[in-house]
Amino acid sequence: MEGKIIFKSQEESVELSMNQEASILSALKKASGVDSPNLEFTDNLEFGDFSSNIAMSIFANQESRIRNQGIKSTIHDSQFKSPHKLAENIVNKLKSDKELSKIVDRIETAGPGFINFWLKKDVLVDNLIQIDKEKEDYGKSKIGNGKTLVIDYSSPNIAKPFGIGHLRSTVIGQAIYNLYKFLGYKTIGDNHLGDWGTQFGKLLYMIDLKKTKDYSIDNLEKLYVEFHNLVKDDESLEKHAREWFKKLEDGESIARTVWKQCINVSLNEFNRIYDMLNVKIDNAFGESFYEEEMREMQNDPKISKFLVDGEDGKSKVIDLTSIGITTPLMFLKSDGGTTYATRDLATIVFRVKKYNPDIIVYEVGVEQRLHFKQLFAAAKILNLINDDVELVHTAHGLYLAPDGKKFSTRGGKTIKLEEVLDEAIERAKKLGNKDDKTAKDVGIGAIKYFDLMHSVQSNVVFDWEKIMNMEGNSGPYLQYTVARCNSVIQKASTFKGQALQDVYSNLNEEESKVLRTLVRFSGIIATAAKSYSPNLLCSYLYDLAQKYNSFYNAHRIIGDTNQEFRIMLTKVTGQVLKNGLKLLGIDTPEKM
Ligand code: ARG
C-alpha cells in the first residue's frame, strides 16, 4: 500500500484546522471590521464546516446603542435592514478575499444571519495525508510552549479507602493533564494526598490505646469510627487526640514512625488502583509536605498583618469580605494548629516558587466550592500569586447510584473502587474479550469513558448497561471501531489495488463526512483543554466513529475502485480515534 496513493495536493503545506480557523477569523475581521469575531464548528455538516454569528452580534450591538443613546440608526438608514442583509454584505467581501479562497470554496448566509463556511476538498484530503504522516503525533501543537500548568488531582486520603468519589478526580485530572501536555504546555501533576490533620491525632491515639500493629486501611477506618463512638461518652478523648497530633507536628519519633507506616500501607493500596487505572501522577507530595512553607507564612509579617481574631477570640482567620465572601478563611485553629486551608495556601507558595505556573488546576469535587473560593480569594489578598495566574476549580459532580441516590455507600458500607474496577473487567470478559490485557483495556476504558463523557460539572448516574454498551456512546464502542479499522487494514495488505489519482472529485457523502470530521481534531483538543472539558473530546470521537461506521456499512472497501482511498480513510480514522482515546487515558486493543 505504501507510496501508491497520489493525491492532488496543494503547493503550500497543509494547515491544521486551528490554522484554518485562524485564517477564516482574520478574513472575518477584515470583512466585518470587528476585532474578535466569533467562529465555531457547525453542529451539522449540512451548514458547512464553520459558522459565525458576527452579523447578528453587530446588529444587536447597534440596536442597543441606538436604544440607549437615542441616536438615529445608521444601519436602518443604510442598506442593512436586517442581520441577514448585513451578513450578505460581509459574505460578498469574504468572497473576494484571495487568502481565504485558498482554504474555503463556499461561503453562504443562513437563517437569521449566520455566515457558513465550507472547507475546500484539498484541505480535507491534505489533512488525511498529514494524519498518515504524523500518526500518534497528529493533533499535537505548540500553543502551550513556554507555559506551565500545575494540576492537583486524585488526592485520596491516607487511612481511608480509595472510594469511587476519587475516581472522577483521577480520571478527569489525568485527561486534562494529557490534553495540556499534547498542546505543548509544561505540565506538572500533583497528587495532593490527605496525609495531615487532626484525624491523624485520633488515629495515633487509638493505635496506642489498642496497641495494634495492623495498619491496614480497613483497620484504620474501623479505629477512626470507634474513636467517634467513644468520644460521645468521653469528651476528654478529643484532648488526647489533639495531644497526639501535637506530638506528630513536633516530630516526636513514635508518632512519626507510626504515621509513616500508615502512609506506606495506604500508598500500597492506592498504587494497586493506579496500576489498574494505568495512571501515573508526577508527584505525590501530600499535605504534610508543606510544613516549612506553613512555618514561614506564620512568621511572615506580610502575611500576619492580614490575620484577625476569629469569633472564639483564639483562632486566626483571614477576612475575605473585600472580595465579597462572607465566610472568613480559618488560618490557625484555637489550639494554634493548621487547617486544610492553611496547607493549601502553603502549597500555592511552594508551587509558585518552584514552577512559576501560568495555570493551577484543582480537579476536586463541587462539594469543596466554598473552600476554593476562599482559597483563591485569600491567595489574592495575601499576594501569594500574580493576578495573571489562572486558578481553576473544576468542581466535578457526584457519582449517583442508578436510583439517583448517593453512590458512595451500600448499606452503610463504603463501596470500594477496586471492586467496581474488577467488575468492569469481568463484564468486559463477558463481552467476548477473553485475554486478560484486552479485558482490562476494555473494562477500565469503559469506566473511564463513561466518567469523561459527562460534562465535568454534572452528576454521573452509574449504569452498567450504558457503561458497557457496544452499540452506543461508550468506551467499548469506540475501541471496537478502532479494532474494526485495524482489521480492514490487515485484510487490505494482501491486495494490490490501483493508484487513485483524483479521489476528491467524486467523494461520496459518507466519505466526505468522515473527512470533514477528521479535520476538526486539533481544534477540538484545544477547546476541550481550554474549557477543562474532556467531554467535548468524547463527543467528537463518538461522532467520528459513528460517521466512519455509516461509511463502512454503506460502502465496500476492499475490491472497490476507490479501494486505496477508502483504506487510507480507514487507517487515519483508526489513528485519530486512537490518539483521542489515548488523551483520555484509554488504551485501544488491536483486536476485539
Ligand atoms: N484530599 C482531599 C479530599 O479527599 C482533596 C484534596 C484536593 N486538593 C487540594 N489541593 N485541596 O477531599
Mind giving me the DSSP string for 66-107? HHHH-PPPSTTTSS--SHHHHHHHHHHHHHT-HHHHTTEEEE
pLDDT at position 562: 83
Residue in 167, 191, 192 to alter for ligand 1 test, most ligand atoms within 8 A of Cβ: 192
CA of 162 to the centre of ligand 1 (A): 13
Name residue 56's amino acid. M
pLDDT at position 118: 97
Cα 450–Cα 397–Cα 197 angle in degrees, nearest 5: 115
Full-prediction pTM beyond 0.75?
yes
CA of 529 to the centre of ligand 1 (A): 22
CA of 299 to the centre of ligand 1 (A): 25
Q: How is residue 523 written as a grid cell?
A: 481544534
pLDDT at position 412: 62
CA of 523 to the centre of ligand 1 (A): 32
Question: Atom 8 (ligand 1): residue with closest C-alpha?
Answer: 192
Which segments of 381-494 are extended strands (E)?
A: 390-393, 399-400, 409-410, 413-414, 460-461
Taking the C-alpha atoms of residue 401 and residue 408, their distance in angstroms, rounded to an integer, is: 8
Mind giving me the DSSP string for 224-284? HHHHHHHHHH-THHHHHHHHHHHHHHTT-HHHHHHHHHHHHHHHHHHHHHHHHHT---SB-
Mind giving me the DSSP string for 176-193? HHHHHHHTT-EEEEE---
CA of 2 to the centre of ligand 1 (A): 51
pLDDT at position 502: 59
Q: Which atom of ligand 1 is nearest to the CA of 165?
A: 4
Ligand 1 pocket, Cβ-based, cut-off 6 angstroms: 152, 155, 157, 192, 194, 344, 362, 364
pLDDT at position 71: 56
Question: Atom 6 (ligand 1): residue with closest C-alpha?
Answer: 155
pLDDT at position 311: 92
Q: How is residue 445 annotated by DSSP?
A: H
Listed residue (96, 114, 97) closest to 55, CA to CA: 114
Question: Atom 5 (ligand 1): residue with closest C-alpha?
Answer: 155
Helix (H, G, I), strand (E, B) or coil at 307: strand
Q: Which atom of ligand 1 is nearest to the CA of 372?
A: 11
Name residue 151's amino acid. I
Phi, psi of 253 (to 5 degrees): -70, -40
| Pairing of β 390-393 and β 413-414 | unpaired
pLDDT at position 10: 34
| Pairing of β 359-362 and β 390-393 | parallel
CA of 191 to the centre of ligand 1 (A): 9
pLDDT at position 166: 94
Q: Which atom of ligand 1 is nearest to the CA of 375?
A: 11
pLDDT in tens, 478-492: 999 999 999 999 987
Residue in 364, 384, 396 to alter for ligand 1 test, most ligand atoms within 8 A of Cβ: 364
Taking the C-alpha atoms of residue 215 and residue 208, their distance in angstroms, rounded to an integer, is: 12
Lookup result for grid cell 513514635: 254
Q: Which atom of ligand 1 is nearest to the CA of 193?
A: 1
Residue ranges of the chain with pLDDT lower than 50? 1-16, 73, 76-77, 495-501
CA of 194 to the centre of ligand 1 (A): 7
Taking the C-alpha atoms of residue 491 and residue 120, their distance in angstroms, rounded to an integer, is: 31
